[in-house]
Structure 1
Amino acid sequence: MTSPVGGLVMGTGIESSSHIYGLFQHICVAFELVLADGSLVRCTEEENSDLFHAVPWSCGTLGFLVAAEIKIVPAKSWVKLHYEPVRGLENICKRFAEASENKQNTFVEGLQYTLDTAVIMTGTMTDHAEPDKINRIGLHFQPWFFKHVESHLKGDRTGVEYIPLRQYYHRHTRSIFWELQDIIPFGNNPVFRWLFGWMVPPKISLLKLTQGETIRKLYEQHHVVQDMLIPMKHMQEAITRFHQDINVYPLWLCPFRLPPGRGMVHPKGQEEELYVDIGAYGEPRVKHFEAKASMRQLGEVCKRRARVPDAVCRCVHGTRGILGDV
């Protein structure tokens, strides 16, 4: 799985260092687009400013993005990752907010396995690793990452590991977050991983090509792939609503800072605010789930209770408003 730059810009991208750098659009300093009349236009904060601020979240409606100039930071060889099991929803939200506010953490991510249990991960980049704590999670025979993280919760133990940087960024690739467990239920079996793990993940385009009409309708009616961007201060309420309305676990928790400014996505006030992306991917476990109605209801609750701009509460069944760091 890869996240093309065009999708990250026009569909908006987020990853586990977004609590420092913001959404993908916030590290972009210039775009070049081919417009409907065939002209090539460059836009920046100073040049064609209206277009520059309109491109993020435009989903390709303004033109064909052919170039993006972005800020980068020096990369290091390893990510030193700390795992912390947390119990109790209030405590989960508190610890996650504390970790997200700490700019010493290069990476912050949470995986929530039930309403009251989660593992919060914090990481930093380093050029040196302790040999006995190296975990090359990208090797085909290794356990799926979300299952590996869950082992810290089941064992009620903290832990520190060193993961190669590239493998860290692709930590959810092999299992497509946790979607692959619904496609290949035995995919995390050690024997399967050893013999066939090199074959996964299957290309999404291949899955769509081989998907019959019946399976497609089942996915539309009984499957959720949703991300909601919620102010951190409303995280507990939002997770409770996710639990009541769809009951999908694990949940992906990813913090990001949202600065004030122009464009489609910004806080209502003039102050920078910390948000969290709550990602739900899987089959709802509530009896009353009805695809369109349930997701629209959840979206309306998000907009009404969290009091955020409509664009930040994109919750349309079957689409994903955010591209994760995969």
Structure 2
Amino acid sequence: MDAHERAVDVIRTQTRHFYDTKTPFRVYHGSTNSTRHTNFDRNAIVDISSLNHILSIDPAKKTALVEPNVPMDVLVRESARVGLLPPVVMEFPGITVGGGFVGTAGESSSFKHGFFDRTVLSAEVVLASGDLVTASDASNQELFDGLRGSFGTLGVLTMVEMRLIEMSKYVELTYHPTTSIKEAMTKLQEETQREGMDFIDGILFSKGSGVIVTGRLADTASSSNVPLQRFSRPWDEWFWIHAKSVAFKKSPSTELVPIQDYLFRYDRGAFWTGMYAFKHFMVPFTRLTRFLLDYFFHTRIMYHALHVSGHTDRYIIQDVAFPAGNAAAFAEFVDENFGIYPLWLCPLRKDARASMGQPRDYQGAVQGKEPRKPNEGEYINIGVWGPYPSSEDEYLRANRSFEAKVRALGGLKWLYARVFYTEEEWWQIYDKEKHETLREKYKATSLPTVWDKVKDRVRIEELESGVKGWLKRTIKSNDLLSGFYGVYKAMGGGDYLLKRETA
């Protein structure tokens, strides 16, 4: 704890300086799982990238003290040493504890435990004034609730206390094939009511084919004929491809999966988005090529390449949580207007909306519910990730139509993704008065607002002049060249978020 306290003291000094000099600043974590255009000024940041340690795990209390930049795979590995597990583990190993708490982070256990922020018991926060406070349900509750989905706009998160649960060696998975969007949504909700379920998600492979995947923690299989299945080794099949092959069998099937293979089952190939890279580079998409190129298709490498290449401008990459009754209507809209498949489905608990910043209540109708009570039921998240080759104008139009449908159906976007709303539209969805009141109360006005964080930006290289700027624009205007450039930069590692220092 001594090293942690020294690091926090430095952060307090930095934030106090910015506060006293009335200098706007941002919090720098050293990595990101966002697809928004992001670039930090070295002279206007508080760098917390070194806060990446697990400070303690208490097996008796089933709690852990964790710094915000601890990634999921490290947290799972260390808690597993004492037979414990985070209740909600985001599917990409590099997603951090802090990102899970102040961002929007849910997974297949969120129908049961809520979003990741619901597993946090207390948070240590350096306010923008330099004051150090602890927020929880018992102390500074308004701040504690406000931190959910705040994206670093209320203070600098430096530590959380979180709860853990008993771990099992395996997850016993059952795949339930479905033959329509409606059937998939119905099955998804039915399974959330079934006793003994620990994990539930689903994949729509087309309008007429999908699979709902349910899981329970287990140390042994329920019967001797349940096979063992792996997903983490280079020669293992990607999870979604395996799930698709099972779905075409048309009857439920069960298998036993090691716990870490299950938790990070979507890491290889970043769900299915890695498939598009094979097509982009004109490489056959086969099990052999997936094995040979495995290094490049883990999410840490893929995110780096995605940002550097500029390919976030060529894809629809969005997650949206809908009142459950409206989810099918949105899936139909995506089918008719974008034709993007697969789609990811994930059921969420009733408190999902309250974990997504400070949204206004949805006043519209929800199919199957009384119109006056639209905010009381469960939610279903739909992940839409796929290429959308088009002109810049058409790409903008398509994303704007996407967002209009989201608003009409009461959906809330996960804000790792690009936002195309106007500022006026944004504050029709989120409660500006509540957001600004909290920021005033906790002296956070030198930090960016949520709108400042998420609004779409022109990439910095587009503003550069001279040969260097021209070369970058030339590379990024060519799909193939930009792809190779992204891979090259990802292989080299290094920081891709901070502006380069000038002489």
TM-score category by the smaller chain?
0.7 to 0.9
Q: Alpha-carbon deviation of 1:272?
A: 4.6
Gaps spanning 5+ residues in structure 2: where?
Answer: 1-92, 363-372, 420-453, 455-503
Tell me if 1:168 matches 2:254: no
Corresponding residue for 1:203? 301
Rounded Cα–Cα distance in structure 1 between residues aligned with 2:347 and 2:136: 26
Q: For each residue in 1:179-226, what CA deviation from the matched residue of structure 2 results, as whole angstroms up to 9, or x when unmatched?
A: 111113457523234444355326145414752xxxx2x541x31110
C-alpha deviation, 1:176, in angstroms: 0.8
Q: Which residue of 2 aligns with 1:52?
A: 144
- Alpha-carbon distance in structure 1 between the residues aligned to 2:181 and 2:329: 10
Task: State the structure with more CA Rg.
Answer: 2
In structure 2, the residue matched to 1:88 is: 180
Aligned counterpart, 1:273: 377
Q: Give the residue type in structure 2 aligned to 1:298.
A: F
How far residue 93 of structure 1 moved from its aligned partner, in angstroms, is: 1.7
Is the 1:292–1:317 contact (alpha carbons within 8 Å) kept by the matching residues of 2? no
Name which of 362, 378, 397 aligns with 1:293. Answer: 397
Partner in structure 1 of residue 341 of structure 2 = 249
Pick closer, same or farther for the CA change 1:89–1:26 going to 2, 3 Å. Answer: same
State the alpha-carbon separation in 2 of the partners of residues 274 and 40 from structure 1. 36
User: Which of 183, 190, 204 is 2:287 aligned to?
Assistant: 190
For 1:224 and 1:128, the matched residues in 2 are separated by 40
Over 3 Å counting, the alpha-carbon distance change for 1:316 and 1:6 in structure 2 is closer
1:139 counterpart residue number: 233
Match of 1:225 in 2: 317
Contact map agreement 1:76 1:165 (CA 8 A) in 2: yes
Task: State the shift of 1:105 in Å.
Answer: 1.4
**Aligned mate of 1:264, from 352, 358, 368:** 358
> Does the aligned pair in 2 maintain the 1:33–1:67 contact within 8 Å?
yes
User: Contact (CA 8 Å) 2:315, 2:389: kept in 1 or not?
Assistant: no
**1:318 equivalenced with 2:415 (yes/no):** no
SS at match of 2:175: strand
Distance 1:140 1:241, change over 3 A: same
> 2-side partners of 1:258 and 1:277: how far apart?
12
What is the root-mean-square deviation of aligned Cα atoms in Å? Answer: 2.9
Residue 245 of structure 2 aligns with an amino acid whose one-letter code is S
Pairing partner for 1:302 from 406, 419, 427:
406
Tell me, in whole angstroms, the C-alpha distance in 1 between the residues paired with 2:136 and 2:345: 31
2:122 paired with 1:24: no
- In structure 1, the residue matched to 2:200 is 108
Supply the distance in 2 between the matched residues of 1:283 and 1:246 (Cα, whole angstroms).
Answer: 10
- 1:288 Cα offset (Å): 12
Residue aligning to 2:166 = 74
| Cα separation, 2, equivalents of 1:122 and 1:92 | 13
> What's the offset of the Cα at 1:108?
0.5
In structure 2, the residue matched to 1:324 is: none
The one-letter amino acid paired with 1:192 is: T
Report the alpha carbon displacement of residue 3 of structure 1 after superposing the two structures with TM: 1.4
- Quick one: which amino acid aligns to residue 229 of structure 2? N
| Cα contact 2:103–2:415 (8 A) shared by 1 | no
How far apart, in 1, do the equivalents of 2:416 and 2:163 lie? 31
Pick closer, same or farther for the CA change 1:82–1:288 going to 2, 3 Å. Answer: farther
Return the offset for 1:103: 4.3
Asked if the contact 1:77–1:127 (Cα under 8 Å) also holds between the matched residues in 2, the reply is yes
Q: Is the 8 A contact 2:270 2:297 kept in 1?
A: no
The one-letter code matched in structure 1 to 2:402 is L
- TM-score, structure 1 length as denominator? 0.85
Moved over 3 A (4+): 129-132, 185-188, 193-196, 260-263, 265-272, 284-289, 313-319
Change (3 A) 1:204 1:34: farther
Q: 1:178 aligns with which of 272, 283, 295?
A: 272
Corresponding residue SS for 2:94:
coil
- Deviations along 1:111-157, one digit per CA (max 9) or x if unpaired, are 00112211110010001134760012211101111111110123334
Q: Is the 8 A contact 1:23 1:258 kept in 2?
A: no
Give the TM-score, by structure 2 length.
Answer: 0.57
The separation in 1 between residues aligned to 2:159 and 2:117, in whole angstroms, is 13
> Structure 1 residues 88 and 181 mapped into 2: Cα distance closer, same or farther (>3 Å)?
same
Q: Which has the higher contact order (CA 8 A, sep 6+)?
A: 1
Residue 87 of structure 1: how far off its partner (Å): 0.1
Q: Deviations over 1:244-265 (max 9, x none)?
A: 2322111010011023879625
Where do 5+ consecutive residues of structure 1 fail to align? 322-326
Contact 1:247 1:286 in 2 (8 A): no
* Mean CA deviation greater in 294-303 or 19-28: 294-303
2:4 alignment counterpart: none
8 Å contact kept, 1:82–1:160: yes
